[in-house]
Amino acid sequence: MLIGHVGESRIMERAANMALSEIYPKIIVDEQIDAIGAPQIQITKLAVSNPLEFKATTAVMPEIKLADYKKIAKSIFGEEQKFEVEDKELEETLNHVRRQRAQIDAYEQQKKDGVERPQLPEVKDEDLPELTDEFVKTLGDFATIDDFRTKVRENILDEKRLRGREKKRVETVEKIIATSKIQLPDVLITQEINRMQMQLESDVAQTGTELEDYLKNIGKNIENLREDWLPEAEKRAKLQLILNTIAKNENINPSEEEVRREINHVLEHYPHAQEESVRVYVETTKRNELVFQYLEDIAK
């Protein structure tokens, strides 16, 4: 009945794909092939009651002559950074909080008044609500103005420290990339460009715009963009290879418990995602973070 509905060839193709998805990973492990990316598979023989024959071509991990990443990390992360919050920065942030509250209050009042399309209005400085103990209590667990000011100053300082750390991370990896020698396979560059395209398509879709309309507005087609992305894709591919190599050299891996917990968290929000793809994403991002922490700790 099944053959009559879909045809024998389609059943054979499905069976072949199931067999290949099972046997290909075993071949990679048994032959100790350090493969990267998806293979190009050509089926050379597919017939009923006959062995399946195929030819697989895959890119392999390139030879990497890694720079002295420990020395580079020490030189960059070892430099002491001092951060402070100026009074002007604090006052600007406090005024921003007051302006946001005034806009929200005005927006809610428009809704109460039956305005069909309420909007956040512009608020003049002289119309901002006064910063009082009662006002800050409505913003959170703050007892007084001084308590609120202290917390805001701490938050600004934390943000500066975070940006400083990110800046050093970028500086470190860029120096490691510049002083390492990597023969980059084309498949890795293509994978990065594909990821960048998927990200763009997702971002555009969230705005409610069609990709075709977006491209028309910027005067480009997707082929133009993929060409523009090439330098960044090469840098990202090199960075990931370097992080993977450092992780391998230093035996850095996230715990299975931590990975499992994050996978479950992602699948709760994206129930239709493929678990294996989510696992690869989670393991990669967590391993990368551990490598960066390792490089930072070297300087300590």
- Looking at 153, 181, 209, which one is the last position of a domain? 181
The mean pLDDT of 41-69, rounded to a whole number, is 90
Note whether residue 156 is domain-resident: yes
The pLDDT of residue 3 is 85
92 plus 128 within the same structural domain? yes
Q: At what angle do helices 69-77 and 275-299 cross, to 10 degrees?
A: 70
Give the contacts of 53 (CB within 8 A, at least 6 positions apart).
43, 44, 45, 46
The pLDDT of residue 280 is 83
- Size of the chain in residues: 300
The pLDDT of residue 276 is 79
Note whether residue 265 is domain-resident: no
50 plus 113 within the same structural domain? no
Cα–Cα distance, 291 to 295 (Å, whole number):
6
The mean pLDDT of 98-117, rounded to a whole number, is 92
**Residue 123, number of CB atoms within 10 A of its CB:** 17
The mean pLDDT of 194-202, rounded to a whole number, is 88
Number of domains in the chain: 2
Note whether residue 86 is domain-resident: yes
135 plus 171 within the same structural domain? yes
173 plus 98 within the same structural domain? yes
Q: Do 299 and 73 meet the contact criterion of CB atoms below 8 Å apart?
A: yes
**Residue 148, number of CB atoms within 10 A of its CB:** 21
Interval 1-39: pLDDT, tens: 888 888 888 899 999 999 998 899 899 989 988 887 778
131 plus 170 within the same structural domain? yes
Note whether residue 282 is domain-resident: no
- Looking at 181, 210, 229, which one is the last position of a domain? 181
The pLDDT of residue 206 is 85
Note whether residue 90 is domain-resident: yes
Cα–Cα distance, 54 to 46 (Å, whole number):
9
88 plus 56 within the same structural domain? no
Q: What is the chain's mean pLDDT, rounded? A: 91
Note whether residue 27 is domain-resident: yes
Note whether residue 288 is domain-resident: no
89 plus 50 within the same structural domain? no
Beta bridge partners of 43: 54
23 plus 100 within the same structural domain? no
- Looking at 158, 181, 204, which one is the last position of a domain? 181
Q: Which long-range contacts (CB under 8 A, 24 or more apart) does 279-284 make?
A: 283/254, 283/259, 284/240
Q: Do 158 and 125 meet the contact criterion of CB atoms below 8 Å apart?
A: no
87 plus 136 within the same structural domain? yes
154 plus 102 within the same structural domain? yes
The pLDDT of residue 287 is 94
The mean pLDDT of 71-79, rounded to a whole number, is 93
DSSP codes joined into one string, the chain: -HHHHH-HHHHHHHHHHHHHHHHHHHHHHHTT--EEEEEEEEEEE--TTS--EEEEEEEEPPPEE---HHHHHHHHHTS-------HHHHHHHHHHHHHHHHHHHHHHHHHHTT-SS--PPP--GGGSPP--HHHHHTTSS-SSHHHHHHHHHHHHHHHHHHHHHHHHHHHHHHHHHHHSEE---HHHHHHHHHHHHHHHHHHHHHTT--HHHHHHHHT--HHHHHHHHHHHHHHHHHHHHHHHHHHHHTT----HHHHHHHHHHHHHH-TTS-HHHHHHHHHHHHHHHHHHHHHHHHH-
The mean pLDDT of 55-69, rounded to a whole number, is 88
- Residue 90's nearest CA partner among 149, 163, 158 is 149
Note whether residue 251 is domain-resident: no
Residue 18 lies in domain: 2-60
**Residue 80, number of CB atoms within 10 A of its CB:** 6
Q: Sorting pLDDT into bands at 50, 70 and 90, what band is 261?
A: very high
The pLDDT of residue 153 is 96
43 plus 128 within the same structural domain? no
51 plus 97 within the same structural domain? no
